[in-house]
Amino acid sequence: MNPLSRFQGNAWFQAGRLAYLALFAMTLIAAASWLFSNVRQIEPDKRAVVMRFGAVSRTAGAGLLLAWPEPLEQVEILPAADRVIEHHVTALLRTDIVPAWNNTGGEKSDAVAGAGYLLTGDSGVVQLDVQVYYVITDPVAFVLQGEHVLPALDRLTGHAAVAICASRDLDTILVARPEIAGNGSNIAERRERLRGDLRQGINQQLAALSAGGSSTGIEVRRVDVQSSLPPAAVDAFNAVLTASQQADQNIASASNEAARVHQDAVQSADRALQVSHARASEQIARASTDTATIVQLAGDHSPELLWRLWRERMPAILAHAGSVTAVDPHDDAHLILPGPDRPTSQP
């Protein structure tokens, strides 16, 4: 045999052997990778649910997890029991409901005029933007429900929001009419209890589902609510608020004007009273001066002098009177009436 042919045959044999060894090594590596594909480290803030052929086999906490590879066993990684998960309930938002309704291909109508709005107990309209924070209390039930958990949470939140709004008036949900005097501390406290009542309503419905054998495996820990009014209602409330503020301003101006007028009247009355007292004191002093002589003579018991002063001064005093009726102090049965005026002599 030709030495060259023998060498070429050995070369092909060596190449085939190397290829076989490489393929065998790759097969072993792939098999090892597949065999240990579900061997993983579970972080402290997570936990795992292991399912064997679609049925829940066991749960595992933080640490090293040993599980058979897929499709023998499947591993679902979930947050730990104390980790709070945030979920935005978009089913109550009008901005998400109306476009989805109109994009269904149907004819647009007024059927979505009230979509996204909730009716309050006093026939008001309000919109709620709800943020739900929940924890996974039952990982097995949560995994079994799978993708149905969040839609169920949205529906339960919407149902609880409808019931809560129907049991409250508008001012216990948001400050819509601050001009009303009833917006006191009691209404403010009821407004703060809205979130707690909404959380309680959602948890009661979740408990009812669990009692009926359809547990979602979650519990709501906190609810954040942002309430708002429709744009048209905002304009109307702003107009009412402006009118109320203008009315309050007018009432305040009228009250100030009335207080000023009353103060001026009181000052005028006080001034008139003071002038009257001063004039009365002046007249009393003048009368006392005018009668001082007679009073002094009356004390001296001089009848002749008194009679003379009477005749001298009384005509001048009585001349200022329109009419005079004299009564005898010792005999009131007789009156002294003035006689007819004496006719004046002709020149």
Instruction: Provide the b/e sequence for 1-36 (b: ≥16 CB within 10 Å).
Output: eeeeeeeeeeeeeeeeeeeeeeeeeeeeeeeeeeee
- The confidence score (pLDDT) of residue 346 equals 47
Give whole-number Cα distances, 322 to 313, 318, 319, 340, in Å: 17, 8, 8, 14
C-alpha 180/C-alpha 195 separation (Å) is: 23
Q: Cα 161 to the chain's mean position, in Å?
A: 17
Q: Which of 122, 89, 94, 99 is nearest to 228 (CA)?
A: 94
pLDDT per residue, tens digit, the chain (347 aa), is 555 455 556 767 677 778 888 888 888 888 777 777 777 888 888 888 888 887 888 888 888 877 777 778 888 888 988 899 999 998 888 766 655 555 555 445 555 666 678 888 888 888 888 999 999 999 999 988 888 999 999 999 999 999 998 988 887 887 656 555 455 556 667 777 888 999 999 999 999 999 998 899 999 999 999 888 877 766 776 777 788 788 888 999 999 999 999 999 999 999 999 888 888 888 888 877 777 766 666 666 567 776 777 777 777 777 766 676 666 666 666 655 555 555 554 44
Give whole-number Cα distances, 174 to 178, 191, 226, 249, 342, in Å: 10, 7, 9, 25, 96
Q: Which of 327, 321, 316, 323 is nearest to 290 (CA)?
A: 316
Task: Output phi, psi for 59, to 5 deg.
Answer: -120, 155
Q: List the end-to-end C-alpha distance of the chain, in Å, as a whole number.
A: 202
| Burial of residue 294 (number of CB atoms within 10 Å: 0-12, 13-18, 19+) | middle
- How many C-alpha atoms does 81 have within 13 Å on its Cβ side? 10
C-alpha 56/C-alpha 50 separation (Å) is: 6
- The confidence score (pLDDT) of residue 57 equals 81
For the entire predicted model, the pTM comes to 0.59
